[in-house]
Amino acid sequence: MRVPYISFLLLTANIVASLPNPGHSNSRKAPDTVVIDGYRLVDIQAQLNRGDLSLKASLGHLVAQADSWLNQGPWTVTSKAKAPPNGTIHDYASQAPYWWPNPNTPDGCPYIQKDGVRNPEVDNYPDKINSIKLFNSTYVLALAWYYTGNPKYSYHAAEIIRTWFLDTKTAMNPNLDHAQIIPCANTGRSIGIIDFSQDYTEVIDAVAILNTGAPGWSKADAAAFQEWNKRFLLWLAYSPFGVKESSATNNHGTFANMQITALALFTCNHSLALTKAELAKEFINNQVTSNGSQPQELARTRSFHYSNFDLTAHLRWALIARKVGVDLFKYKGPQGQTLFKAVNFLVPAATGGASDWAYPELQFTQYAATDNIHAAAQEGDLTAKEAVKNLTPPPGGDIFLLRQAPQQLDNINTT
Ligand SMILES: *[C@@H]1O[C@H](CO)[C@@H](O)[C@H](O)[C@H]1NC(C)=O
Ligand SMILES: *[C@@H]1O[C@H](CO)[C@@H](O)[C@H](O)[C@H]1NC(C)=O
Ligand SMILES: *[C@@H]1O[C@H](CO)[C@@H](O)[C@H](O)[C@H]1NC(C)=O
Ligand SMILES: *[C@@H]1O[C@H](CO)[C@@H](O)[C@H](O)[C@H]1NC(C)=O
C-alpha cells in the first residue's frame, strides 16, 4: 500500500522533530531488564539514532501508544467500592466473570456457572481491568521515554507505578489472595494468579528501564519497588495459592513459574532463578510434542489463542532463563521437542489465516501469533524468519522490534 508510506514519512518527521535530545542516551548502560535483553535495547536505540528507516514505523506506533496513555491513570486497587470478603481495600480483588447468583435461593448461594455469559457484578472489582492498563501503559511509557528521551513519558510511568505499588494510601498489598473470587464459595482462588502472571513481567521490565536514570523515578522509588517484589515473590513461591498455581501442568503453571523466575532474577535470588529456569525444561517435555503441537491447548475451544498464550509464557521464560545461563531455545526434550517446533506449528495459520488452522477455534485472531513468530525469528529459527514478513500486526501496530519479547497480544476478555 502506498498511502501509508507517505503518512509514515510525515509521521517520522514529526517524531524526529519532537525528540528533545536525539542521541541523549549514548552514555547510558544497558537496562537490567529481566525478559528483554537490555543490550538489544541499546542496539535498537543506536540504530534509531543513526536514522535507520526500518524502525521508524515501529517507533511511530510506540509513541502513539504512549501518547494515548498520557491522560489515563494512575490506577489503584483502593478505588474499588468495597474490600473483598476477608480482605482489605489494599488487597487486589477480582471476581470470576461467568458465575451468577442462584435464582432459586433467597441469598443467591450457591452461585451457578453460565459459561461465556459475563456477570456485571464483576465490575464491583475494577482491579483486573485497571491492572491490564497498568501493565500495558507502564511498559509502553517506559520504552517511549527510553527511545525519545522525553521525560513526560517517564514521569507518567513513575506516577502510575508509585500509585499502584508504593504510596501508603493507595498501594496494593503484595498478594493475590482475592483473585477470581466466586461469591459464597470462596474469597479468592489460586488460578487468579494468572491475572498477574500473564503480563506482570512488563512492569518489571518497565522499572528496569526507568532505573537507567529516568526523570521522575528516584533511587528511593527503585529500592521500594524492589522490596515490594521481594515480598510478592515470597507469596508467589511459598503461599498455598502460589504453590498450587505453580504446580499446575497447563498454561497456568507455565505462567506462574515464568513469573517466579522473573522476580527471582529481578530481586537477585540467583539460586531460585536458576532452579526455576531449569524447571522450564520439564514444561517443554510435558506440554510440547515432537511435532510442536501443544495437545492440552489444542483441546480447548480457543485452541489457536491458547497455543499462542502458553507459548508466549515459554518464550518469555526462555529469555529470562538465558540470563542465568540456561538456554531453552536450544533445549531438546526426550522426544525431540523444541520451542522452535512449537512456534513452527503455528506458522501456517499465523501467515495464512484461519483456513490453515485445523483445530477448534471460536474466534480466530491471526495476530495472536505475531510476537511468538518474531521471538523465534530473532533467535535464529529459519521458518520463523521466513514468516516474519507475512505477519499480521496487532491493534496499535507491531512494536516487537522495539521491545524484543513476546507480549500477549490477543487478551481474551476474562475480566
Ligand atoms: C473469613 O475467614 C474466617 C476465618 O478464617 C472464616 O471462618 C470465614 O469463613 C471467612 N469468610 C469468608 C467469607 O470466607
Ligand atoms: C532465595 O530463594 C530460596 C528458595 O528457593 C530461599 O531459600 C532463599 O532464602 C532466597 N534467598 C533470598 C536472599 O531471598
Ligand atoms: C503431533 O503429535 C501428536 C502426539 O504425538 C499427535 O497426536 C498429533 O496427531 C500430531 N499432529 C500432527 C499435525 O502431526
Ligand atoms: C496497549 O495499549 C495500546 C494503546 O491503547 C494499544 O494500542 C495496544 O494494543 C495495547 N497492547 C496490548 C498488548 O494490549
The per-residue pLDDT for range 316-332, each reduced to its tens digit, is 999 999 999 999 999 99
Q: How many angstroms is it from 331 CA to the middle of ligand 4?
A: 32
- Per DSSP bridges, beta strands 93-95 and 178-181 are parallel
Which range, of 46-55, 209-218, 364-373, averages the lowest pLDDT? 46-55
DSSP 362: S
Q: Whose CA is nearest to atom 13 of ligand 4?
A: 409
Nearest atom in ligand 4 to the alpha carbon of residue 408 is 13
Average pLDDT of span 359-372: 96
Polymer length of the chain: 415
Decide whether any atom of ligand 4 lies within 6 Å of the 407 Cβ: yes
Residue 25 lies in a domain: yes
Residue 177 domain flag? yes
Distance CA 83, CA 85 (A): 7
Would 261 be classed as within a structural domain? Answer: no
- Ligand 3 atom nearest to 290, measured from its CA: 2
Residue holding cell 526507568? 210
Q: What pLDDT does residue 29 have?
A: 83
- Classify residue 260: in a domain, yes or no: no
Query: At residue 152, does pLDDT exceed 60?
Result: yes
The predicted structure's pLDDT at residue 413: 60
268 CA distance to ligand 4 middle (Å): 30
One domain, residues 367 and 408: yes
Ligand 3 centroid distance, CA of 290 (Å): 8
* Distance (Å) from CA 86 to ligand 1 centroid: 6
Do 299 and 223 fall within a single domain? no
Residues 236, 305, single domain; the answer is: no
Answer with the one of 250, 285, 312 that is the final residue of a domain.
250
Please tell me the distance between residue 184's alpha carbon and the centre of ligand 1 in angstroms: 11
Residue 273 and residue 232 in one domain: no
For residue 239, the domain's CATH number is 1.50.10.100
Is 302 inside a domain boundary? Answer: yes
Inter-CA distances, 183 with 79, 84, 98, 125, Å: 20, 10, 12, 12
- Give dist(CA 56, CA 15) in Å, integer: 9
Residues 17 and 91 in one domain: yes
Residues 311 and 212 in one domain: no
The ligand minimizing its distance to the Cα of 260 is: 2
In a domain, 216, yes or no: yes
**146 and 9 within one domain:** yes
Q: Is the domain of 290 the same as that of 388?
A: yes
Note the Cα 346 to chain centre separation in Å. Answer: 20
For residue 414, the model assigns a pLDDT of: 54
Tell me, what DSSP letter sits at residue 390? G
Alpha carbon nearest to ligand 2 atom 7, residue: 272
Structural domains counted in the chain: 2
> Measured from the CA of 187, which atom of ligand 1 is nearest?
14
Mean pLDDT score, 40-46 = 96
Average pLDDT in the chain: 93
**112-113 and 178-181: which strand pairing?**
unpaired
CA distance 311 to 69: 28
Ligand 3 atom 7: residue of nearest CA = 295
Percent pLDDT > 90 in the chain is 89
Give residue 345's domain range.
Answer: 269-415
Ligand 3 atom at minimal distance to the Cα of residue 293 = 1
Mean pLDDT (whole number) for 258-263: 98
Q: Counting atoms of ligand 4 from 1, which one is nearest the CA of 61?
A: 7
Alpha carbons 415 and 97: distance in angstroms, whole number: 6
Q: Using an 8 Å Cβ cutoff, are 325 and 276 in contact?
A: no
Give the pLDDT mean for 359-365.
94
Tell the residue nearest (CA) to atom 13 of ligand 2: 269
CB distance 394 to ligand 4 below 6 Å? yes
* Pocket of ligand 4 contains residue 413 by CB under 6 Å: no
Give the model confidence (pLDDT) of 101-144 as tens digits: 999 999 999 999 987 789 999 999 999 999 999 999 999 999 99
Please list, in sequence order, all residues whose beta carbon lies within 8 angstroms of the beta carbon of residue 104, skipping any fewer than 6 positions away: none
Q: Is the pLDDT of residue 1 over 60?
A: no
pTM score: 0.92
Question: What's the mean pLDDT in 262-282?
Answer: 98
The CB of 187 under 6 Å from ligand 1? The reply is yes
Same domain, 97 and 222: yes
Q: Is the domain of 71 the same as that of 26? A: yes
Ligand 3 pocket at CB < 6 A: 289, 291, 293
Nearest ligand atom owner, CA of 345 = 3
Do 400 and 371 form a contact (C-beta atoms < 8 A)? Answer: yes
- Tell me whether residue 264 is in a domain: no
How big is the CA angle at 19 (ends 13 and 21), to the nearest 5 degrees? 135
Q: Of 115-129, 172-186, 199-213, 327-341, give the lowest mean pLDDT range.
A: 115-129
272 touches ligand 2 (CB under 6 Å): yes
Q: How far is CA 131 from the centre of its chain?
A: 11
Asked whether residue 256 is assigned to any structural domain, the reply reads: no
CA 122/CA 188 separation, integer angstroms: 13
Alpha carbon of 65 to ligand 4 centroid (Å): 7
Ligand 2, atom 11, lies closest to the CA of 269
Alpha carbon nearest to ligand 4 atom 5, residue: 65
- 187: cell is 474469597
pLDDT over threshold 70, residue 172:
yes
Question: Rounded mean pLDDT of 152-168?
Answer: 98
Query: Does 85 contact ligand 1 (Cβ within 6 A)?
Result: yes
Q: Is the pLDDT of residue 14 over 60?
A: no
CA of 292 to the centre of ligand 3 (A): 8
As a whole number, mean pLDDT of residues 390-400 equals: 97
pLDDT band with cut points at 50, 70 and 90 for residue 356:
very high
**Domain identity same for 181 and 33:** yes
pLDDT at 22 over 60: no
317 with 279, same domain? yes
